[in-house]
Amino acid sequence: MLVVLATIVAVRAWEARRPPGLKPWHRFAPPSELTARDFTDSFTLDDYLKREDQAFREVEANVEQKLAPEDRFAANRYDPDALTSPRRFSRDWNRTFELVPETIRGGALLLHGLTDSPYSMRGVAELLRDRGYYALALRVPGHGTVPGGLTRAVWEDWIAAVRMAARHVAKRAGQGRPFVIVGYSNGGALAVKYALDAAEGGALPRPDTVVLMSPMIGVTPAAALARFLGKLAVIPYFEKTRWLDVVPEYNPFKYNSFPVNAGFQTSRLTTALQEQLAQAASSGRLSAMPRILTFQSVCDATVVTDAVVHKLYDALPANGSELVLFDLNRGTPASAFLAPAAGRLLAEVMAAAPRRYALTVVANRAPDSREVVARTYPANGAAASEKALETSWPLQVYSLSHVAVPFPTSDPLYGGEPRGEAIPIHLGVLAPRGERGVLTVSPDQFLRVTYNPFFPYLAERVATWTAMP
């Protein structure tokens, strides 16, 4: 095993020498970025925002203002004049943001995913704000600035920031008013971890409900190997082994490059989360958990969907939780090419009964139709109900993706029918075709669907789930 591991590391080191090379945004990490030890009991959101602002100023001074001529081009987010610069938007959505209703009737904390930014929480934050919630979309440490920030961040930094933000949101909401946590991807893992910690007692504000989108409850075992892949980075010649992917940074609100440390931290976080879930289930402490509503595609290349079902939902008590699964588009011509195992999980979940949670499946009305219905199977085997949705599968879309769930079709950056802000580039509609080797990034980068055609249904369910008396 040691020989095999050493061989993997050595091969990875040599492969990492291939172009593209590392850029300033890979090598630099803002010195002012917060770590877990900074979050004392007296540390406030204002303190956090001041340090966050300082970190962004460090990126501007050390990266943006020192770009080499070859790094000044239209698709580099770190070029202030680029089409993909965050400065092209009404605000820099990489930063923590607050949305405040005219009258605060509750509080919502929204947590983005790994390599992501608070922008991914914009649609849901606006929805909750319109319903009277003070909404705080937190930028967790290591994100939103430069990919190099994730070479140092650890998951303990993230959960410490979440606890600080939760105290702030609960205080803004006011005593006796509902407190909601919304988590997307890695933010979903942090949301569940926080809810578990709060359920065990202590001074943490307890959420009344949790909403998850593509939650990172489990990752592939390969993520655990990430800790070994960057060992040779101490040698300058092999510094690129600190990275699993080095890709041009064209996305204004999400890193495209992926450091080894980020993968390792997801393994550490999900391992700790699963162990805590199992211990809480065996001790009966899960009875204090809030109800959870989750939206998850049956096919997800980023997280292990099985873990959402078996590690989280199978452990939950009968507390009114619900799992919403988005099935594949079985009415598209591409359905002939679907992998035989693609529908395995859904069949497995449907066969498992009785369940302690409600299950809703968003699927084709019929095999030859792109029209969609939501079929809800209540907990404990009660009769199912069916609701026709007003949207259909887009013709060329054969499934949702991990990154698509929280974004409406109208999202100005990721949507298939972008509306709202007048920005110079719309990533969601890009489907380039042409000769190989011409683009600066692989065409594969544009094949993954980035929006959810069923977001109106998601919005309706979230509004109902978080409705206040």
What average pLDDT score do residues 206-234 get?
Answer: 78
Question: Distance (Å, rounded) from C-alpha 66 to C-alpha 77?
Answer: 14
Residue 11 pLDDT exceeds 60: no
pLDDT recorded at residue 441: 81
Q: Which residues pair with 359 in a beta bridge?
A: 323, 377
pLDDT recorded at residue 4: 63
The larger pLDDT score, comparing residue 440 to residue 59, is at: 59
What average pLDDT score do residues 347-370 get?
Answer: 88
CA dihedral 447, 211, 412, 172 (to 10 degrees): -150
Q: How confident is the model at residue 101 (pLDDT cuts 50, 70, 90)?
A: very high
Residue 169 pLDDT exceeds 80: yes
Which two structure tokens, joined as six digits, stand for 252?
């204004």
CA distances (Å), 100 to each of 89, 126, 148, 199, 339, in order? 20, 9, 32, 27, 45
Q: How confident is the model at residue 396 (pLDDT cuts 50, 70, 90)?
A: confident
CATH fold of the domain at 2-289: Rossmann fold (3.40.50)
Instruction: Give me the DSSP letters along 239-291.
Output: GGGGEEE------TTS--SEEHHHHHHHHHHHHHHHHHHHHHHHHTGGGGSPE
pLDDT digits (tens, 9 = 90+) for 184-195: 999 999 999 999
Which two structure tokens, joined as six digits, stand for 224?
């655990």
What average pLDDT score do residues 82-87 get?
Answer: 94
Query: How are beta strands 209-213 and 97-99 bridged, if at all?
Result: unpaired
The larger pLDDT score, comparing residue 265 to residue 221, is at: 265
Question: Torsions phi, psi of 252, nearest 5?
Answer: -70, -20
pLDDT recorded at residue 350: 83
pLDDT recorded at residue 59: 98
pLDDT recorded at residue 346: 85
Count helices and strands (H / E) in the chain: 11, 12
Which region among 29-43, 141-155, 235-249 has the lowest average model confidence (pLDDT)? Answer: 235-249
pLDDT recorded at residue 8: 59
Listed in order, strand segments (DSSP E) in 279-354 are: 291-297, 322-326
Question: Distance (Å, rounded) from C-alpha 217 to C-alpha 294?
Answer: 12
Q: Domain extents for the chain? A: 2-289
Q: Which residues pair with 109 in a beta bridge?
A: 136, 181
What average pLDDT score do residues 324-348 get?
Answer: 84
Residue 230 pLDDT exceeds 80: no
What average pLDDT score do residues 275-295 get?
Answer: 95
Residue 312 pLDDT exceeds 80: yes
pLDDT digits (tens, 9 = 90+) for 400-434: 999 999 999 999 999 999 998 888 889 999 888 88
Give this prediction's pTM.
0.93
SS3 49: helix
Per DSSP, 144 falls in state S
pLDDT recorded at residue 337: 84
pLDDT recorded at residue 19: 46
Question: Distance (Å, rounded) from C-alpha 402 to C-alpha 214?
Answer: 6
pLDDT recorded at residue 223: 59
Percentage of the chain modeled with pLDDT above 70: 93
Which region among 47-51, 179-183, 347-351 has the lowest average model confidence (pLDDT)? Answer: 347-351
Neighbouring residues of 292: CB distance < 8 A, sequence distance ≥ 6: 192, 195, 209, 210, 211, 212, 312, 316, 321, 322
Of 136-145, 228-237, 376-385, highest mean pLDDT: 136-145
Helix extents (H) in 393-468: 455-465
What average pLDDT score do residues 139-148 get?
Answer: 98
pLDDT digits (tens, 9 = 90+) for 231-257: 655 565 567 788 989 999 999 999 999
Residue 17 pLDDT exceeds 90: no
Residue 171 pLDDT exceeds 70: yes
The secondary element (H helix, E strand) that includes residue 228 is helix 226-229
Residue 158 pLDDT exceeds 90: yes
